[in-house]
Amino acid sequence: MDGVSTSQTSAVPFLKGHGTENDFVIVPDPDNVIDLPASVVGRLCDRRAGIGGDGLLHVVRSAAHPEARAMADEAAWFMDYRNADGSIAEMCGNGVRVFARYLQRAGHVESGDLAVATRGGVKTVHIAKAAPDSGADAGDITVSMGRAALPGQTVTVTVQEHSWPTQNVNMGNPHAVAFVEHLDDAGNLYAEPSFSPAAVYPDGVNIEFVVDRGERHVAMRVHERGSGETRSCGTGACAVAVAAARRDGIDPAATGVPVTYTVDLPGGRLMITERPDGEVEMTGPAVIVAEGYIEPALLAQTETPLG
């Protein structure tokens, strides 16, 4: 990034939000002047020594960020998303909803449609108008997540004595979807499950384990690369719905009829619709839970003892 390299001498504002309990540290930085190297992001997302989160949403005007300037005519704001370990990710579906909720809370946008620039392209977001006296965070948010790609190469995922074939689905970031009999078979997902051949995903992969709950209704657990097991994953829920539809012999492009799957995650429920033109839409809640200030020591480029 080309933000100003400086040692922070004053506290920096932050917010904390979640979408179906996939939680994020939100750092507003319209002019892209705050340095956020991986070590700092990891410290902020640390649940014991930092604020805690599955990832970080760096809120920057598109015109101020070198990776988003080409999208500035389409989208005023860029979601510079980081995983909990500080690594950069292309997209985060729950993160986009929380990002939009922050923009609404800050007065940058109102209910209705808006565009958000991401490394996975420009995403169209719709903020439903909340009923009177229903609260600032009421009303679901729908995100047009783009079209799913179905690369031909697949992997086998293994957890202890269990192995499953997967469906390779790309939602701007890679996913390996495994249909299983019991979600508990996935074991401890904080450590990345092994997969083979590894060359299919040279930069790592998000791995979803899925069971059926009813007609067009599934439940899932997920290991997100760079974050471990999370309570929810928006792009993962989209990948699961697309994979489930194909497994069930449904292709909206062929039928001309949209298909919607209910996807239950540990942190809540998302509704995923795939349209005949291939566009995948995700609808769910987004909540801001806190705001405050980051101590300058947490933003230092090197470890600084606190207290």
Indicate the angle between helix axes 93-105 and 234-247, nearest 10 degrees: 140
The full set of domains in the chain, from first to last, is 12-140+287-299 (3.10.310.10), 156-283 (3.10.310.10)
Residue 175, CB half-sphere, CA atoms under 13 Å: how many? 32
Cα dihedral across residues 290, 40, 175, 278: positive or negative: positive
For a pLDDT cut of 90, what percent of the chain falls above it? 84
- Which residues sit opposite 23 in a β-bridge? 18
Query: Can you give 59-89 as a three-state secondary structure string?
Result: EEEHHHCCCCHHHCCCCCEEEEEEECCCCEC
pLDDT mean over 70-89 = 96
Spatial neighbors of 241 by CB under 8 A, at least 6 apart, are 218, 261, 263, 272, 274, 280
Q: What is the dihedral of CA 53, 115, 31, 28, to 10 degrees?
A: -30
Say yes or no to pLDDT of 8 above 90: no
Q: Give the separation between CA 297 and CA 303, rounded to whole angstroms.
A: 8
pLDDT in tens, 214-238: 999 999 999 999 889 999 999 999 9
Q: What is the pTM of this model?
A: 0.87
Q: What is the band of 304 on the pLDDT scale with cuts at 50, 70, 90?
A: very low
Q: Give the separation between CA 35 and CA 21, rounded to whole angstroms.
A: 27
Other C-beta atoms closer than 10 Å to the C-beta of 78 total 26
Other C-beta atoms closer than 10 Å to the C-beta of 110 total 10
| pLDDT: which is higher, 139 or 62 | 62
Q: What is the band of 10 on the pLDDT scale with cuts at 50, 70, 90?
A: confident
Active site residues: 92, 233
Q: Give the separation between CA 72 and CA 60, rounded to whole angstroms.
A: 11
Q: What is the band of 306 on the pLDDT scale with cuts at 50, 70, 90?
A: very low
Q: What is the band of 302 on the pLDDT scale with cuts at 50, 70, 90?
A: low
Q: Give the separation between CA 98 and CA 110, rounded to whole angstroms.
A: 14
**Per-residue confidence (pLDDT) for residue 163, from 0 to 100:** 97
- Which residues sit opposite 231 in a β-bridge? none
Say yes or no to pLDDT of 122 above 50: yes
pLDDT mean over 165-173 = 95
> Mean of the per-residue pLDDT values for the chain?
92
For a pLDDT cut of 70, what percent of the chain falls above it? 95
pLDDT in tens, 12-46: 999 999 999 999 999 999 999 999 999 999 999 99
- Which residues sit opposite 228 in a β-bridge? 224
Q: Give the separation between CA 94 and CA 96, rounded to whole angstroms.
A: 5
Say yes or no to pLDDT of 11 above 50: yes
Helices first, then strands: H and E counts in the chain: 4, 19
